[in-house]
Structure 1
Amino acid sequence: MKSREKEAAGGRQMVGMLAVSRAGHDRNVLYLIVREEGERVYLADGVYKKYAAPKKKNRRHIQPVHSGISQKELQELSENPADADTKIKRWIKLYQKQNV
């Protein structure tokens, strides 16, 4: 990870974090970061952007809002992608309910 990327992520990996889109037609939409590659992150919301086909977004255009899910839960997503979208929807809904 480059130093500029570490600064954007607070010096840590962003996979598993909940983030809000800050630019584009999906502005203010909450996503789970499912993968990162260089300057790009891949986002899923479980409804329109599925775990199997995540949205590609520039890392500068998102704002992490929550530490997200545990490493164990991330492992479960990759092991069972059929249930991934349901779990992602549940995590996002739970976060929104707690922070309204």
Structure 2
Amino acid sequence: MSECDKVVAYQLPAKYVPGMVVRSRAGHDRGRLYIVVRVESEDYLLLTDGKKRALANAKRKNTKHVQAVGHAITSQELAETLRRKTCDRERDTYIRQLIRVWEETCAPVQKSKSSSEE
């Protein structure tokens, strides 16, 4: 058996992980940024933006309808921080801050890349 005939199974990294920033591609919320709170299955995510979709009322969205745009925080840091916050209002404020900081630091870089490609 040659090297080419061997089938090797590799563990691919998860496409979506908690703490990731995603943009909605479909639905009435198209274009809105969310933080992934939990991955329910290969096909569904729980998302929050801290405003319209509070953490207590996270949006369940199909992975086909979102686009990964970056990482705001690691999943461990997100879980630890949300556990430390005592009330829902503090958690939602934290989520809003994460999205705002990510937009200010990372989003302009992505916009300039896409405009330079045209």
TM-score (norm 1): 0.81
User: Equivalent of 1:94, from 101, 112, 115?
Assistant: 101
Aligned identity (percent) is 34
Q: 1:57 to 1:28 in 2, by over 3 A?
A: same
CA-CA distance at 1:81 after TM superposition: 5.6
The unaligned stretches of length 5 or more in structure 1 are 1-9
The unaligned stretches of length 5 or more in structure 2 are 1-11, 109-118
* TM-superposition CA deviations, 1:13-45 (whole Å, max 9, x none): 511101000111101100000011111101100
Matched, 1:20 2:23: yes
CA-CA distance at 1:52 after TM superposition: 1.0
**Maintained 8 Å contact 2:48/2:58:** yes
Counterpart residue number, 1:47? 51
Structure with more helix by fraction:
2
**Maintained 8 Å contact 2:22/2:36:** yes
* TM-superposition CA deviations, 1:51-70 (whole Å, max 9, x none): 11101100111111112212
CA-CA distance at 1:79 after TM superposition: 4.0
Would you say how many aligned residue pairs link Structure 1 and Structure 2? 91
Whichever residue aligns with residue 103 of structure 2, its letter is Q
TM-score (norm 2): 0.69
* TM-superposition CA deviations, 1:63-96 (whole Å, max 9, x none): 1111221222332213426221011000111111
Q: What is the RMSD computed on CA atoms of the aligned residues?
A: 1.6
Q: Which has the higher contact order (CA 8 A, sep 6+)?
A: 1
